Amino acid sequence: MIFRTTAAIAFLANIALPAAAKPAAPLNSELAVRADETVDFIANGQTLRFRLAPDAISVPTLNADAAERAALKPSMIGYIYVIGPEKIGFRTDNVRYGEGEASFRSRTAFSARKIVEGADGVAGPETFPHKRTTFILRDGQPGDQAITFPLDKEMGRSQTSVRMDVGGRPIYAAFSLSRQESLVTATGGRWIADANGGQFASGAREAPILYGVARPIRSLSLARPLMLGDLEIRNLAVRVSDMGSAQGIAEGPSPDQDPNEIVVTGDSKRKIPTQRLYIGMDTIGHCASISYDFEAGTVTLMCPPQR
């Protein structure tokens, strides 16, 4: 199994010190976690601290030392995460979480690579069998309003996402608490530029993607805002070399080119990889919470109007 990643995160980049872990909520209830907290789970009789993230894959993934402590044994099932030219191999084991009647099993990944700092592992919103997972960014305030989207199952366990259509083409979006900019894969960036009058606004720079891997990105300015429901996606950048091609996005206005014009080249005959967008804190940082309701199949953000 091969997951090809797009935008991703280096988790404690903006956190000076790890917060104390909280015990996991009972299964089939709501799990609520603040952005700087870890959550304790018992795995094979060992207490492990998980960093939860809205944009993490749903397979629980452990650092190598935590996997050794919990006595994980590699099975015949593994996968490779491809980030640009780099391939990261993962092994898996079917791990028992919890104790007694409340226990359950979940296939868990581990690698020789350091996966996350300040915790033993990382997990997504639907990794563990809770009916609802809520990420608390701040306390609620008067003026916060619910913005609700249907969850999309197209990405399976590789991403808990919502679908947005850009020029009739699907881009699968997840929310990120660990980066300020929003980041889209290459072909998705070209679609957005074509539909919204986009052009590159910066040269290439390296940005962390996932598991310590950095890739080149470029800022994208838009003549018309990119909207997800009532949310305007702000501070957008494109992974110019990954998941397709960004070729065709204008380099900015020139004397003989309208500032809103995009020069679009012909699409390749090859199959287009699934395009992903990670929506960063410059778009959602004003919100109070992000709540995933898996029985209803929705994600709800509580936010005041954007300014």
Close Cβ partners of 173 (under 8 Å, ≥ 6 residues apart): 161, 162, 163, 164, 228, 276, 277, 278, 279
What pLDDT is stored for residue 17 in this prediction? Answer: 29
Q: How many residues are recorded in the chain?
A: 307
| Domains contained in the chain, CATH given | 2-8+20-136 (2.40.70.10), 145-303 (2.40.70)
What pLDDT is stored for residue 266 in this prediction? Answer: 36
Nearest to residue 74, comparing CAs of 90, 96, 97, 98?
A: 90
What pLDDT is stored for residue 270 in this prediction? Answer: 56
**Collapsing DSSP states into helix, strand and coil, what is residue 156?**
helix
Reported pTM: 0.82
Tokens of 71: 């006595």
CA-based R_g, the chain, Å: 20
pLDDT tens series, the chain, 307 aa: 344 333 232 222 222 223 345 555 555 588 999 988 899 999 998 999 999 999 998 899 999 999 999 999 999 999 998 888 889 999 999 999 987 777 889 999 999 988 899 999 999 999 988 999 999 999 999 999 999 999 998 777 778 899 999 999 999 999 999 999 999 999 999 999 999 999 999 899 999 988 888 899 999 999 999 999 999 999 999 998 755 555 556 665 433 332 322 232 334 455 677 899 999 999 999 999 999 999 999 999 999 999 8
Distance of alpha carbon 218 from alpha carbon 240, whole angstroms: 7
